[in-house]
Amino acid sequence: MQLVTTSLRVSLVLMALCGLIYNLAVTGIAQGLMPHKADGSLIEDSSGRIVGSAHIGQTFTEPRWFHGRLSSIGYAADGSGTPNYAPSNPDLLERARQSAIDWQAANPAVPLGQVTADLITNSGSGLDPDISPEGARAQIPRVSAATGIPAAELEKLVERQVEPRQLGVFGEPTVNVLELNLALQALASNS
């Protein structure tokens, strides 16, 4: 009986320590050091309404918006992932071919050779909110035609939204599509 009592006490102490105290400490530290990130890196529009997260992409299909990467899961954050096809898989090749055809139909002013891979392929998670600066620039003719904003202004807008490599060496420069479209919305309303 003493062994059972000791086991229960140890279990309760460990549950309190690992299940409650540790979680409260980590949450408190995160809220103190980086509250925006701890709360999900939420993005607000000009009226203060939360419109998304900086870490989860959204689907933009209208010609007046910059489009993000493809997502085979519809950017559903509750189940990230994408089919893990080998580069030689016929399904992947067909999906990429169809994506290129769809992209070319929506962007006839841009030669297919200027389409970056990130515009016609999924990310590993299916949630990637970013595209390459080149991918954003390739969409300028379509967005300019749809909004009436001169291409030169859109080029400047894209340049202001480019996030450089992390610490100057890690990763590639990126553009967050939601933040870019919010900046585009502000530019359009000010024009």
**What's residue 38's pLDDT?**
81
Q: How far apart are CA 154 and CA 151, in angstroms?
A: 5
Contacts 24+ apart (CB under 8 A), 153-162: 153/187, 154/184, 157/183, 157/184, 157/187, 158/133, 159/133, 161/136, 162/133
Q: Note the pLDDT tens digit of each residue in 135-155.
A: 999 999 999 999 999 999 999
pTM of the model: 0.81
Q: How far apart are CA 170 and CA 10, in angstroms?
A: 44
Q: How far apart are CA 36 and CA 187, in angstroms?
A: 25
Phi, psi of 104 (to 5 degrees): -65, -35
- According to DSSP, residue 117 is labeled G
* Contacts of residue 74, Cβ cutoff 8 Å, sequence gap at least 6: 59
Rounded average pLDDT over 113-131: 87
Work out whether the CA dihedral 47, 51, 57, 62 comes out positive or negative.
Answer: negative
Residues in the chain: 191
Q: Do residues 69 and 122 touch, judged by C-beta distance below 8 A?
A: yes
Show me where the domains of the chain are located.
1-39, 41-190
Structure-block tokens of residue 180: 């870019």
Q: Note the pLDDT tens digit of each residue in 13-68.
A: 999 999 999 999 999 998 899 888 888 888 888 888 988 888 988 989 899 999 99
